[in-house]
Structure 1
Amino acid sequence: MNSLKSNFMKIAKLIRYAFCILIMVSYGCEDDLEPFTINAPADLQARIDSIAAAKAAQNTGDTTFIEISTAIVGEEDFSSPWWTDFSDYFAVPPGKKLTLEFINHNGGSPDNFKNWVLLVSNEAGDREAESYSEYFALRSDAYGWGNGDFDIGVISTNYASNLESDPTDEDWANFRAIMDGAHVTLEIDHSSSGYAFITGTAVGTDGTELVITYNQPVSATAAINVFLVAEGSYFEMEEAYLVPSQVTEIADANPVSLDITGTPAMVEIGSEDFWGNAVATVTYDDGSSSEIDSADLSFNVIPDLTTVGEKTVLVAYNKTKQGVFTKSVSDFYTLNVVNAITGLEVSTLPDITTYYFFDSDSIVFNPKGMVVTATYADGSSGTLDNVNLEFDSIAAVAGAQNVGIAYEGATSIVTTTCPITLVQGNSQVGASNFSTPWWLEFSNDFTVSSGESKMFEMYCYSAGNLPYQSPSTILRRADNSAEYAVTRMDNFGWGDGYSTATLSNDWVTNSEGFDVEFFNSNISGSHIIITVTNNGDDTADIRYDVTYANGDTHFQEYTGITVDSTDLNCTLVIEGAYIVLLN
């Protein structure tokens, strides 16, 4: 394809040259010049015919080539942090298939994720716009994330038989070696029925072919936007073009259940909003599920919001996966209609009443554990769920403060305050609004000499949604280019040195093992001491001693991490959270 384009450019230059000569002949500067002729190359017409024939053979009339503005995506020294270097946006209308071709470079990194990452978003495009949202992200190492339709179990590869479930270090080492310098072809087929089908084919420099596939519901009527993100990698973009979709039909699925969550526990008399921020999720008979907009629901029983008492709301949904009307499924919930609220009082203080800070940014108030009592117009009182309240941010100023709390009722706004104290620490890693992306914010780098330990004392504040929104520890060489291991606080890590580590902890468990939800909900406000020990025998240990804001204590330990005891440095990194260091 590239050679064809090159030939076109050459022949275009010949034509322009001949045309310019013709102009000079027709409009000579002197009247008495003798006429002369230009002898074009004897095979000029043959060349034109040959190129035209080649073009006709390559172009079916359905191919639309897209100009690529960003030829290199990511820093060529492999220094790009997450969410900073992006390819062009490529819009894919329904009924079209986009093909992207590029060379993937990971520089021999020991990290699987430092290869291509594909993002598929809505048609808004602008990543900073409020209307921007992502359908899903697909990583080349058989991992991803996305909206409510995302299902990691749908990802399929031909990598290695055990790569997807219990990969060995050798499996992933082979994967990374093949991906470095591989020619990658990504096909994103946007079916008119409302699905995106992804096929990624990477051909290594040794000829080995790796294939990954995934599919997920997207808009059936609006274009989707596709782009690549680099992290510790870069891509040489070669070609992008659209052809008609190759998907002819999608099997439909009928709804089998409807689940309503997040409904308001109470509403004030006179209000008209009995839905609030509730979420409706429908499950289909093919096992998939998706969130449904409230506008597509039928409210068969609408509560009377003019009288006090418990009310029932019956909700139904009657469309197939492809939007065809069918037999409905339903769910119901209850709520209390209460008298107007005239007063608020904090009857139990929250778990976190002392906040540590360093940066000047305002701090997010965490109401976990707080109990607010409401007084109603009839003189009665009762506990008001914190989800019904709004909280002021905390000013980053040392000393005592009162955080504003407000309830917005049907006719008035009622307020109270909660007392807290702020203490300034020595440094901070991560933004106070929990916006820090992965691998962008680090603590200082510290040398840990043979036979010695380095201790970090800190408080962690987190969005509390995911277990990795907590501090991670990096062990690496002094030049920062070679990592021995990265360990997270939630019993997880990676790296060549990590493969020899022994893990132990006393985290809360449930019937499924590690209780992720309990861990997530208690990260914020935790007092954490991380100790890195260089054992002097080419092994190192990392221990997390954690005290939750409610007083519970737990530990996480990694022993026997393989390192070079003569060259051991450590640093901390954070994502979706921040830490305030006290030492």
Structure 2
Amino acid sequence: MKTTKLTRWALCAAFLAALSLVGCEQLDPYSIDAPSDLQSRIDSIAAAKASIDTGDTTYLNIATAIVGPEDNSAGWWAYFSDYFTIPANKLLHLEFVNHGTGVNNWNNWNLAVANEIADRDADGYAEYFVLRSDAYGWGGGMVDEGYVYDGAMITQNYPDTDGDGDIWNDFRTTMQGASVTLEVDHSATGNVFVTATALGTNGVELVQTYQQPVSATADITAFLICDGSYFEMKKAYLIPSKVTVVEDVNPVSIVVDGAPAFVELGNEDFWGNATATVTYADGSSAQVDTADISFNVIPDMTTLGEKTVVLAYSKTKQGAYTEAVSTFYTLEVTNSVQSLEVTTLPNITTYYFYNSDSIIFNNAGIAVTATYSDGTTGVLPNETLQFGKIPAAEGAQSAVISYVGATSTVTTTCPLTLVKGIGQVGATDFSTAWWTAFSDDYTVASGSSKTIIMYCYSNGLANWNSPSTILRKADMTENAVVRMDNFGWGTGYATATLTNDWNWDAFTSNISGSRVAITVTNNGDNTADILYTVTYANGETHFQKYAGITVDSSDLNCALVLEGAYLVIVE
């Protein structure tokens, strides 16, 4: 036994001596004959060690240490961190250094929280929400499963450090090189709680929080997204959730949307397709089940005239009974509808088309008058009518308009004209997702301009459901992407000057049916301009201009992209 120990000691001593000699400059020719896959073995061991569960803390391996190009050239939805899976009752803790262009508020970290399918391209993948560092966000596909995004739940403490009345210039400064701690707490209560703390190199601390419902049992997935930004990932680990009980809150108000404006005599359904939304003391809101609503005043639907419906809701956010909140609405009980007539044509009477899919009718501006059984007349609210689709065929066409009454269905038609274009971008049913449908590439030679004329049809849900223009090289290297609504990104966008004359209160509602002329000008000095000239269906005109976008004038192409809309190109 002694001999064995001494032999082992001697071998170890010799090995250590060899290591020390190899470190000497005079012995550079000498080397260790190591396996060719030594580094991969070391990495594998390090990864296994990093993922060891040390009781309350499970350290996670970070495969992507630098997320996004270090020149902040990352376009939106192009560069991502690793996926981090968060089981129920666990909290994900991330630490990283944030870098961005400093040009826009959103050129910093962005967080996506999705369902358990940790693959953005896989079937069934859906986001609960996307949260930006500038106290902004939106919901994803999980909204359809009842997990509603609520921007009112975002809080932030962002200060006006320079006292100029603008917190955002200070925010952009603080975020450059800020050390960020991001906690995503997947509580077993069925909620996720996000806390983001950024400590700037200037000593300013910024804190943002958000919370919303998620699955109480299924895993959730979190990952970071670049947008004119990049991140140096430092730490990632899981610890037990900090939230075991959610403080309950009382309702403070209730509103009803979509209640019928009138009901025919003989129909006793005074609720129809209405929805009730309750707002709670913490600022959140939720649509509630009609089974939980008390109707305190039920109208007499057997007589004509105006009726009042009074309703109340008396549950806390967690479902306990409490003091009720109430509201009311009115409706008209009328005689039965005998006939319909279009008395005012809609704003859009000429549609441009290219594909063979039937076209969704836009009823904005239309007035449909009903004649009742007693000979009286009145304009029907559009929400009480059903509007058929338009056949995709050139020339005179019509859309069928129906009213489903208590005893019969009455119809009429609206005359329309269809004109065929030369191309289309996007699906006619407005189902096109972002960055999935593109026009052809158009070459714009140095010192020249290219104008593309189109008609835009939109779902009308948001400003960005309108055309965007991509500037890029022939090899698809992007310079910039700019939207019709005064927004853009990309390496060349930082030098752009933006001007427009939009009335933002009317922008979204007027996108559909607009004639849009987009002119891209290659100035020949490695800059380009983009001009949107827009004529609404009602004849009103507006413009959006981007001047001085940095490009390569010797290699400039443009293309169109969109979401929730489609374009019919006519010239």
1:91–1:349 distance in 2 versus 1, CA, 3 Å? farther
Deviation at 1:192, TM superposition (A): 4.6
Matched, 1:578 2:571: no
- What amino acid maps onto 1:448 in structure 2? V
Structure 1 partner of 2:138:
145
Deviation at 1:198, TM superposition (A): 2.7
Deviation at 1:121, TM superposition (A): 5.7
Structure 1 partner of 2:458:
462
Distance 1:127 1:386 in 2: 39
Q: Of the candidates 513, 517, 520, which is equivalent to residue 529 of structure 1?
A: 517
Distance 1:202 1:226 in 2: 22
Deviation at 1:435, TM superposition (A): 1.1
Greater displacement, 293-302 / 221-230: 221-230
Matched, 1:118 2:112: yes
| Structure 1 portions without partners, runs of 5+ | 1-53, 204-209, 509-513
1:364–1:474 distance in 2 versus 1, CA, 3 Å? same
1:86–1:335 distance in 2 versus 1, CA, 3 Å? farther
Structure 1 partner of 2:493:
498
Count of matched residue pairs: 504
Deviation at 1:104, TM superposition (A): 12
Whether contact under 8 Å (2:499, 2:544) holds in the other structure is yes
Q: Of the candidates 379, 382, 385, which is equivalent to residue 383 of structure 1?
A: 379
Whether contact under 8 Å (1:104, 1:116) holds in the other structure is no
Distance 2:181 2:295 in 1: 47
Distance 2:557 2:359 in 1: 31
1:198–1:542 distance in 2 versus 1, CA, 3 Å? same
Structure 2 partner of 1:206:
none
Structure 2 partner of 1:393:
389
Distance 2:328 2:487 in 1: 40
Whether contact under 8 Å (1:469, 1:576) holds in the other structure is yes
Q: Of the candidates 202, 210, 215, which is equivalent to residue 215 of structure 1?
A: 210
CA deviation digits over 1:344-380, x for unaligned, max 9?
A: 1111111111111112222211111111111222222
Deviation at 1:244, TM superposition (A): 4.7
1:279–1:172 distance in 2 versus 1, CA, 3 Å? farther
- Secondary structure in structure 1 of the residue aligned to 2:568: strand
- Secondary structure in structure 1 of the residue aligned to 2:137: strand
Distance 2:356 2:431 in 1: 15
1:333–1:527 distance in 2 versus 1, CA, 3 Å? same
Structure 2 partner of 1:305:
301
- Secondary structure in structure 2 of the residue aligned to 1:366: coil
Deviation at 1:469, TM superposition (A): 0.5
Matched, 1:554 2:555: no
Whether contact under 8 Å (1:104, 1:115) holds in the other structure is no
Matched, 1:319 2:294: no
Distance 2:358 2:116 in 1: 31
Structure 2 partner of 1:344:
340
- What amino acid maps onto 2:151 in structure 1? F
Deviation at 1:577, TM superposition (A): 0.4
Structure 1 partner of 2:155:
154
TM-score, normalised to structure 2, is 0.72
Structure 1 partner of 2:145:
none
Structure 2 partner of 1:539:
527
- Secondary structure in structure 1 of the residue aligned to 2:498: strand
Q: CA RMSD in A?
A: 4.8
Whether contact under 8 Å (1:375, 1:381) holds in the other structure is yes
- What amino acid maps onto 1:136 in structure 2? F
Deviation at 1:199, TM superposition (A): 4.8
Deviation at 1:218, TM superposition (A): 1.4
CA deviation digits over 1:27-85, x for unaligned, max 9?
A: xxxxxxxxxxxxxxxxxxxxxxxxxxx99x9464x89999x9xx99xxx99999969x9
Q: Of the candidates 466, 476, 482, which is equivalent to residue 487 of structure 1?
A: 482
Matches within 5 A, 1:361-376: 361-376=357-372
Query: Kindly, what percent of the aligned residue pairs are identical?
Result: 53
1:568–1:129 distance in 2 versus 1, CA, 3 Å? closer
Distance 2:269 2:58 in 1: 48
Structure 1 partner of 2:424:
428
Structure 2 partner of 1:16:
none
Q: Of the candidates 255, 258, 261, which is equivalent to residue 262 of structure 1?
A: 258
Whether contact under 8 Å (1:100, 1:241) holds in the other structure is yes
Distance 1:305 1:122 in 2: 49
Distance 1:450 1:129 in 2: 43
Structure 1 partner of 2:3:
none
Distance 1:556 1:382 in 2: 41
- What amino acid maps onto 1:493 in structure 2? G
Deviation at 1:289, TM superposition (A): 3.1
Deviation at 1:341, TM superposition (A): 1.5
CA deviation digits over 1:325-358, x for unaligned, max 9?
A: 2222211111111122121111111111111111
Deviation at 1:279, TM superposition (A): 3.1
